[in-house]
């Protein structure tokens, strides 16, 4: 009898272990997608886990739509939407938001601008009024424009004192070049050129219903919410859709070395970037795992182990990959003591060569897969997180089925596939290098790097 019980326990244990180790499929709630008569795309999900509603309004316009000499225009326009509307003053809106315990948030990236609002279900209509009024009836009051513009100018000066932000800005310029807005970052000079008429024109051209998506997820009646949206946006008139600028990866640009001279720095920032794959590449999951093992996994990453743990050269180093439908690139960034600048750079390049020559290990790949299997579900704990995941997936070419099978897709990557991706895509010879530091203190080490262009940290990027 005891032996039979032992066998049953063993079988049950095996079943549990198998189910735990098997890659999980993620169940997303069903989505209702509707295109209204004015062209507005509406996506609705009923999610009753919390008595709340998350609104997210996406405009297909961002940094890529800026004039070359007016970097910052898309961001300034977006932030002005959180000020007064033609219906209510900024103070009245702020008071209403405080009363319902909500906040209107705006975020602008390279291709899109988003407004988001999270409210309790009982305030569904108030929340919908606030987020739609912001784009349908912006006031663009001269005094608010002037105040925000001055804030932006001040913040752009502060950006010059953030050495990591500074290195990223110069890195983007080397990657994209001077012929696209993506190569530029807002600066006091570019912001001073922006007039209120530019903001109004940007809004009139891009903030149209047929250039927008409204995503709503939360505790509500689906039909009732759709009727509210139709009624609320009925006066938002469809307009001729602006031709979106084409994003082209400047893959033929020669890698460059730029030294950004910033006197009195006690540490030197090292920033590298190179082109990567797009999100629709068949090697997408391999590349994401590649980046995680390389420098995206904190203290367990290859770069952290080599540069900090073994080399003792820095407090931290990491890599990030940005994989989108129209472009993709990889970055590596760290800072170190001035006297250790070249040694640190050398350790980074030697580690990259070592990875290319020997590849990653089965153990490293297994740990990366385990991380993905845990992090992906944990990133879907709130309605807002679910909305962001679905929208990011949609804009990057992924279907709901792709998202449901995401963990399975990561788990299916073999060691041969990821190491083939390493050899194919990790190309140190194609990397741009930006060095931000006090050139007088690192001059002797710079001679070992080879030819470079020197600029002053307050100079315009294109100088």
- Whether residue 270 contacts residue 259, with contact meaning beta carbons closer than 8 Å, is answered with no
Q: How far apart are CA 4 and CA 272, in angstroms?
A: 62
Q: How far apart are CA 345 and CA 163, in angstroms?
A: 17
Task: Give the residue range(s) of CATH 3.30.830.10 domains in the chain.
Answer: 32-232, 257-456
- What was the pLDDT predicted at 12? 31
- Spatial neighbors of 181 by CB under 8 A, at least 6 apart, are 63, 64, 65, 66, 67, 68, 71, 245
- Spatial neighbors of 442 by CB under 8 A, at least 6 apart, are 268, 338, 341, 342, 435
- What was the pLDDT predicted at 8? 34
Q: How far apart are CA 60 and CA 40, in angstroms?
A: 12
* Domain 32-232 CATH (choose: 3.90.650.10, 3.30.830.10, 3.90.920.10, 3.40.50.1820): 3.30.830.10
CA dist 68 → 58, 77, 172, 173, 398 (Å): 23, 16, 14, 12, 31
- Whether residue 292 contacts residue 376, with contact meaning beta carbons closer than 8 Å, is answered with no
Residue 54 CB neighbours (<10 A):
23
pTM for the complete prediction?
A: 0.91
CA 193 to chain centre: 27
DSSP 271-331: EEEEE---TTSTTHHHHHHHHIIIIISGGGSHHHIIIIIIT---S-EEEEEEE-SS-EEEE
- What was the pLDDT predicted at 20? 41
Q: What is the pLDDT along the chain (463 residues), one digit of tens a residue?
A: 434 333 333 323 333 333 345 678 999 999 999 999 999 999 999 998 889 999 999 999 999 999 999 999 999 999 999 999 999 999 999 999 999 999 999 998 899 999 999 999 999 999 999 999 999 999 999 999 999 999 999 999 999 999 999 999 999 999 999 999 999 999 999 999 999 999 999 999 999 999 999 999 999 999 999 999 999 999 999 998 878 888 888 887 899 999 999 999 999 999 999 999 999 999 999 999 999 999 998 888 999 999 987 778 888 999 999 999 999 999 999 999 999 999 999 999 999 999 999 999 999 999 999 999 999 999 998 999 999 999 999 999 999 999 999 999 999 999 999 999 999 999 999 999 999 999 999 999 999 999 999 999 999 998 7
Structural domain 257-456, CATH architecture: 2-Layer Sandwich (3.30)
């Amino acid at each position: 009898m005891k032996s039979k019980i032992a066998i049953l326990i063993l079988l049950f244990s095996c079943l549990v272990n198998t189910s735990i180790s098997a890659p999980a499929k993620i169940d997303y709630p069903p989505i209702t997608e509707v295109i209204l008569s004015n062209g507005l795309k509406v996506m609705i999900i009923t999610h009753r886990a919390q008595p709340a509603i998350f609104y997210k309004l996406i405009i297909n316009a961002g940094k890529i739509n800026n004039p070359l000499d007016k970097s910052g225009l898309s961001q300034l326009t977006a932030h002005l939407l959180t000020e007064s509307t033609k219906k209510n003053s900024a103070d009245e809106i702020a008071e209403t938001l405080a009363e319902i315990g909500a906040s209107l948030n705006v975020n602008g990236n390279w291709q899109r601008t988003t407004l988001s609002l999270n409210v309790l279900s009982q305030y569904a209509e108030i929340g919908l009024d606030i987020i739609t009024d912001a784009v349908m009836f912006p006031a663009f009051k001269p005094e608010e424009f002037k105040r925000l513009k001055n804030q932006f100018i001040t913040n752009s000066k502060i950006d010059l004192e953030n050495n990591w932000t500074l290195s990223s800005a110069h890195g983007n310029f080397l990657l994209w070049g001077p012929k696209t807005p993506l190569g530029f970052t807002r600066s006091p000079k570019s912001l001073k050129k922006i007039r209120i008429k530019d903001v109004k024109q940007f809004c009139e051209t891009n903030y149209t219903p047929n250039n927008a998506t409204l995503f709503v997820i939360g505790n509500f009646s689906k039909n009732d919410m759709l009727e509210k949206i139709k009624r609320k946006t009925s006066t938002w008139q469809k307009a001729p859709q602006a031709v979106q600028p084409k994003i082209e990866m400047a893959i033929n640009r020669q890698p460059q070395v730029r030294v950004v001279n910033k006197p009195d720095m006690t540490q030197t920032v090292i920033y590298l970037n190179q082109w990567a794959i797009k999100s629709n590449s068949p090697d997408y999951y391999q590349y994401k795992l590649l980046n995680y093992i390389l420098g995206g996994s904190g203290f367990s990453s290859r770069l952290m182990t080599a540069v900090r743990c073994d080399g003792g050269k820095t407090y931290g180093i990491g890599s990030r990959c940005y994989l989108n439908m129209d472009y993709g690139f990889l970055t590596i960034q760290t800072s170190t003591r001035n006297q250790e600048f070249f040694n640190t750079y050398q350790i980074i390049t030697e580690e990259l060569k070592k990875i290319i020559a020997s590849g990653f290990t089965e153990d490293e790949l297994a740990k990366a897969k385990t991380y993905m299997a845990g992090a992906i579900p944990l990133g879907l704990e709130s309605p807002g997180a679910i909305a962001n995941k679905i929208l990011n997936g949609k804009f990057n070419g992924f279907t709901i089925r792709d998202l449901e099978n995401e963990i399975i897709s990561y788990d299916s990557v073999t060691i041969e596939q990821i190491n083939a991706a390493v050899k194919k895509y990790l190309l140190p010879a194609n990397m741009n290098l930006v060095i931000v530091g006090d050139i007088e203190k690192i001059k002797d080490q710079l001679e070992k790097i080879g030819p470079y262009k020197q600029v002053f940290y307050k100079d315009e990027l294109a100088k």
